[in-house]
Amino acid sequence: MSTTSNVKTLWSIDPVHSEIFFKVKHMMVSTVTGAFNEFKGSVEAQADDFENAEISFEADINSIDTKNEQRDGHLKSADFFDAENFPTLKFKSTAFHKKADGSYELFGNLTIKDVTKEVLLEVEYNGRAVDPYGQEKAGFEIIGKISRKEYDLKWNALTEAGSVVVSDEVRLALNVQLVLG
């Protein structure tokens, strides 16, 4: 049972202890994993268990990292994210509901380029702890899927055998640690 107070608490993403990953099929036979290395976010919560928290997040497109400089450059180009004109990916929650103990559904608006779509993300709340420096932390694991074509990330090519080089489905995986204050 969540405890709600009249005081809202403000939490920030701890970028040192958080990871923002995405995975996409390449040539439909393997998976490429990428990350955004520069990001920020906040959570405003009134309940101890974060029920109905307000969540916002931004990632710097130029920080994209797939461990391949040429591919990263292509992803930043107008073929995909168009980082020159749209340097930031943004998310703003519309609802955060508990399904079961520690399990939540997060609804929100994801904006990539100039396209905003509602997404549903599955969230596991891992609890709270105080670190050795006296800072209160909270941990979450978040997963979801989006269609990259819905966000105007349409570039693709065909292999010699006729299969696509990059799948439409992008899987999201975020490991987020928040710090109070």
If you write DSSP's letter for every residue of the chain in order, what string do you get? ---EEEEEEEEEE-GGG-EEEEEEEETTTEEEEEEESSEEEEEEEEETT-TT-EEEEEEEGGGEE-S-HHHHHHHHSTTTT-TTT--EEEEEEEEEEEEETTEEEEEEEEEETTEEEEEEEEEEEEEEEE-TTS-EEEEEEEEEEEEGGGGT-----B-TTS-BSEEEEEEEEEEEEEEE-
CATH code of the domain covering residue 67: 2.40.128.110
- Show the domain range for 174: 4-180
Encoded amino acid at 135, one letter: Q
Q: Burial code of 28-43, b = ≥16 C-beta within 10 A, e = fewer?
A: eeeebebbbeebebeb
List the chain pLDDT tens, one digit each, 181 residues.
556 667 899 999 999 999 999 998 865 667 899 999 999 999 999 998 999 999 999 999 999 999 999 999 999 999 899 999 999 999 999 999 999 888 999 999 999 999 999 999 999 999 999 999 999 999 999 999 999 999 988 766 544 444 445 788 899 999 999 999 9
pTM: 0.89
Altogether, the residues listed in the chain come to a count of 181
- The total number of structural domains that make up the chain: 1
